Amino acid sequence: SNAINLALMPGDGIGVEVMDAAMGVLQKLARRHGLGLSTETLRAGAFAYRQDGTAMSEETFRRAEAADAILLGAMGWPGIRYPDGTEIAPQLDLRFRLGLYAGVRPIRAIPGVPLALAHPRAKEIDMVILRESTEGLFAARGRGEVIEDREARDTMVITRATTERLSRFAFRLAERRAAKLGRPQTVTLVDKANVFTSMAFMRKVFRDVAQEFPHVPSGEHYVDAMALDLVRRPWDFDVLPTENMFGDILSDLGAGLIGGMGYAPSADIGDTHAVFQPSHGTGPDIAGKGIANPTAMILSAALMLDWLGSRGAGQAWTDAAGELEAAVDGAFAAGLRSAEFGGVGTREVAQAVADRIP
Amino acid sequence: SNAINLALMPGDGIGVEVMDAAMGVLQKLARRHGLGLSTETLRAGAFAYRQDGTAMSEETFRRAEAADAILLGAMGWPGIRYPDGTEIAPQLDLRFRLGLYAGVRPIRAIPGVPLALAHPRAKEIDMVILRESTEGLFAARGRGEVIEDREARDTMVITRATTERLSRFAFRLAERRAAKLGRPQTVTLVDKANVFTSMAFMRKVFRDVAQEFPHVPSGEHYVDAMALDLVRRPWDFDVLPTENMFGDILSDLGAGLIGGMGYAPSADIGDTHAVFQPSHGTGPDIAGKGIANPTAMILSAALMLDWLGSRGAGQAWTDAAGELEAAVDGAFAAGLRSAEFGGVGTREVAQAVADRIP
Ligand SMILES: CC(C)[C@H](C(=O)O)[C@@H](O)C(=O)O
Ligand SMILES: CC(C)[C@H](C(=O)O)[C@@H](O)C(=O)O
């Protein structure tokens, strides 16, 4: 039959724990909706590097590439590093090698989850930070230079092609969100066009693309002002495309607003492939304790179902995505508390969500 | 006599308004403490550029350079731009030309000023973001390249010399703060050493300098994790040296926590010169209405007095700095509200502070 083939890459530390918990929920959901799912677990990450000398083998990469979608836990570990001292991060390699330019990082207040901001409107927070994930400052990864132990350089690269793709992705996302939420969605480019040539270039290309979507409101915001406004009035923003490094920073800031990294899912999407993973890391301080919050992983699985649905897997997948998100919301609204807030552990959170799937 | 010669650069928009208000307070303070002050007002900024064709003339620069300290309002204006579209920002030129590598941006909760975070410990926020201000990504300013309208590049530069200076500044600041506050102060470098060569280099140089200060606790934090932690537990941080672009972003985020840009002073300090200015911009939306908050400007003047005192102007200057800060704290603790929070305008805020100077 037309089963969807998922590559599971649990990775290191709590990546393994939240993947396991989320898969339990996903399997129940798949049964209920009659979704054909086959899975294959692939080994990659810091511990793979330590044991095998490679963080992600070519064979592993090829299998991931051949799958319909990739679900990833988290990768990296303190003390396990490449010889040059940088992090073991095959998730970055996947972004580059599979051309996953659109880093979709939804920041949404889940009813019942404690919010960081005192303002009553904080519960309205519902935006997507769209982190370009293949160039920007990260184009320098593995290419930086040190000159005579005196000076070091990394070069930020912005291309027209990628900026066009990212911008179109942002406008289409705004259209879909407007239809779903029943209110207009503004696309706001976050840049630093007042100082940098590359950023002025990015803004120019963004504006060109904006003209293709005259019915979608759009604008621009400097990254420093955006960091301020994410603290002062985050409920005013919808879809925020931005440069890779800026997106890395702003999406963590955003996660802090809505309960922390345990509530921040992500999707790295390209024209042909996509990886879905929680925004959090491997949690070395809490790994093995059974207290990691699986919510971000579960919500990442929902993003995956939605993406598969939008790519022709069928309406059942889209419906399942909506139901999974509703199950998460329902569980927390009914009083579920994760361990960061003095509540229950990984299995219990996943169970509470699963219990809301009929 | 040994009068201190201040260059005043009010600049554009609300820069002029807050400068005017802060100078009233400063003059009263100077009289009370017998501080010899002479001032000279210099013209620079976006409107100067529009009228004279130069944002800061060489003559103006030389006068500023010759002063004992420079007090700056704010510069720049929407719609007035250099031919390449970048911002009119002579304050950036001053940082580069005078070698003001240490961008001191205190983030401190003022008793009585509304805080963004719901957590009760938010009132303990008291840290300094130390933004390197002459290199990092900003080294690319005016040097970025566009290749065939297809790709644009800006290069981040980190030098050993500047990182050493910045790090030593951070450790000395921590020592002074520890003595003043009566509790140890940790220096935490904010970088992205897990991905970038330049950042790994910065971390290495920072660690070398840390060994010169074995009695000062120190560590490192990735910039994305820091953006998260500034929302989740900002009260845990003390002195945060960081790269220029990162500091730009994090200091605005920090300002958002303690009431907004109207409460965020700054000092750009080099080995021989220093510029003191509020972190905010020229406020085109509120300029001319008399509602700009002068607190950041007044607190910047306090930073200036403290700096002058530490450079040999005498204990009276240091005392005056402490008294000015206490006057600000006292006024807000007693119920003063600035216009952003439905309270009073520029003159009234300044008057309330001045009234607390005996
Ligand atoms: C682990 C790290 C290299 C990675 C990044 O910076 O992209 C992470 O912070 C992320 O946001 O996915
Ligand atoms: C006006 C702008 C160029 C400037 C900067 O980015 O440095 C400002 O944001 C600041 O923080 O002083």
Q: A117: which chain B residues are within 8 Å (Cβ-Cβ)? A: 116-118
Q: Is the pTM of this model over 0.95?
A: yes
**Dist. CA B273–CA B275, nearest whole Å:** 7
Same domain as B170, residue B236: yes
Same domain as A294, residue A337: yes
A116 token code pair: 């960081």
Same domain as A319, residue A202: no
Domain-ending residue, one of B234, B258, B282: B258
A46-61 average pLDDT score: 96
On whether residue B172 sits in a domain, the answer given is yes
pLDDT of residue A85: 77
B171 token code pair: 């450790």
Same domain as B253, residue B231: yes
On whether residue A75 sits in a domain, the answer given is yes
On whether residue A69 sits in a domain, the answer given is yes
pLDDT of residue B84: 76
Q: Which helix (H) or strand (E) holds A220?
A: strand A218-222
pLDDT of residue B87: 86
Gap from CA of B225 to ligand 1 centroid (Å): 10
Gap from CA of A76 to ligand 1 centroid (Å): 10
Same domain as B148, residue B77: no
B92 ligand 2 Cβ < 6 A: yes
Same domain as A142, residue A23: no
A189-209 average pLDDT score: 96
Same domain as A132, residue A35: no
Domain-ending residue, one of B258, B293, B317: B258
Radius of gyration of chain A (CA): 20
**Dist. CA A146–CA B160, nearest whole Å:** 10
Buried b (16+ CB within 10 A) or exposed e, B58-79: eebbebbeebbbbbbbbbbbee
On whether residue B106 sits in a domain, the answer given is no
Same domain as B65, residue B26: yes
**Contact across the interface for A249 and B249, Cβ inside 8 Å:** yes
| Tally of helices (H runs) and strands (E runs) in chain B | 11, 12
pLDDT digits 0-9 by tens, A134-153: 999 999 998 999 999 999 99
Q: Which of A89, A151, A253 sits opposite B160 (nearest CB)?
A: A151
Nearest-CA residue of chain A relative to B223? Answer: A249
Q: Which of B116, B151, B158 sits opposite A152 (nearest CB)?
A: B158
On whether residue B334 sits in a domain, the answer given is yes
Same domain as A141, residue A163: yes
pLDDT of residue B1: 47
Q: Does A80 touch chain B (CB under 8 A)?
A: no
On whether residue A79 sits in a domain, the answer given is yes
Q: Does A227 touch chain B (CB under 8 A)?
A: yes
On whether residue B315 sits in a domain, the answer given is yes
Whether A48 has a pLDDT exceeding 70, the answer reads yes
Tally of domains in chain B: 2
A28-44 average pLDDT score: 96
Confidence of residue A358 (pLDDT cuts 50, 70, 90): confident
Same domain as A239, residue A120: yes
B-contacting residues of A 129-158, CB under 8 Å?
A: 137-138, 140-141, 143-146, 149-158
Q: B153: which chain A residues are within 8 Å (Cβ-Cβ)? A: 155-158, 197-198
pLDDT of residue A233: 98
pLDDT of residue A1: 46
pLDDT of residue B83: 85
Sequence-separated (6 or more) residues with CB below 8 Å from residue A183: none
A109 ligand 1 Cβ < 6 A: no
**Contact across the interface for B252 and A224, Cβ inside 8 Å:** yes
Same domain as A119, residue A48: no
Whether A87 has a pLDDT exceeding 90, the answer reads no
Nearest-CA residue of chain A relative to B224? Answer: A249
Domain that holds residue A71: 1-99+272-358
pLDDT of residue B142: 87
pLDDT digits 0-9 by tens, A238-251: 999 999 999 999 99
Work out the end-to-end distance of chain B between its first and last CA atoms, rounded to an integer number of angstroms.
Answer: 25
The CATH number of whichever domain residue A210 belongs to comes to: 3.40.718.10
A39 token code pair: 């899975």
**Contact across the interface for A157 and B160, Cβ inside 8 Å:** no
Same domain as B283, residue B234: no
Work out the end-to-end distance of chain A between its first and last CA atoms, rounded to an integer number of angstroms.
Answer: 25
Sequence-separated (6 or more) residues with CB below 8 Å from residue A22: A71, A294, A297, A298, A300, A301, A350
Q: B146: which chain A residues are within 8 Å (Cβ-Cβ)? A: 197, 201
Best of B157, B206, B224 to substitute, by most chain A Cβ atoms within 10 angstroms, is B224
Q: What is the pLDDT along chain B (358 residues), one digit of tens a residue?
A: 479 999 999 999 999 999 999 999 999 999 999 999 999 999 999 999 999 999 999 999 999 999 999 999 999 999 998 887 788 999 999 999 999 999 999 999 999 999 999 999 999 999 999 999 999 999 999 899 999 999 999 999 999 999 999 999 999 999 999 999 999 999 999 999 999 999 999 999 999 999 999 999 999 999 999 999 999 999 999 999 999 999 999 999 999 999 999 999 999 999 999 999 999 999 999 999 999 999 999 999 999 999 999 998 899 999 999 999 999 999 999 999 999 999 999 999 999 999 999 8
Single-letter amino acid, residue A3: A
Confidence of residue A84 (pLDDT cuts 50, 70, 90): confident
Q: B149: which chain A residues are within 8 Å (Cβ-Cβ)? A: 160
By alpha-carbon position, which residue is closest to atom 11 of ligand 1? Answer: A248
C-alpha distances out from residue B18 to A51, A78, A177, A262, Å: 62, 48, 42, 43
Mean pLDDT of chain A: 96
Domain-ending residue, one of B258, B292, B314: B258
**Contact across the interface for A152 and B201, Cβ inside 8 Å:** yes
**Closest ligand to residue A281's CA:** 1
pLDDT of residue B227: 98
Count of positions (residues) in chain A: 358
B195 ligand 1 Cβ < 6 A: yes
CA angle B69, B70, B73 (to 5 degrees): 150
A264 ligand 1 Cβ < 6 A: no
**Dist. CA B269–CA B264, nearest whole Å:** 16
On whether residue B195 sits in a domain, the answer given is yes
A76 ligand 1 Cβ < 6 A: yes
Q: Does A229 touch chain B (CB under 8 A)?
A: yes
**Closest ligand to residue A78's CA:** 1
**Dist. CA A174–CA A8, nearest whole Å:** 29
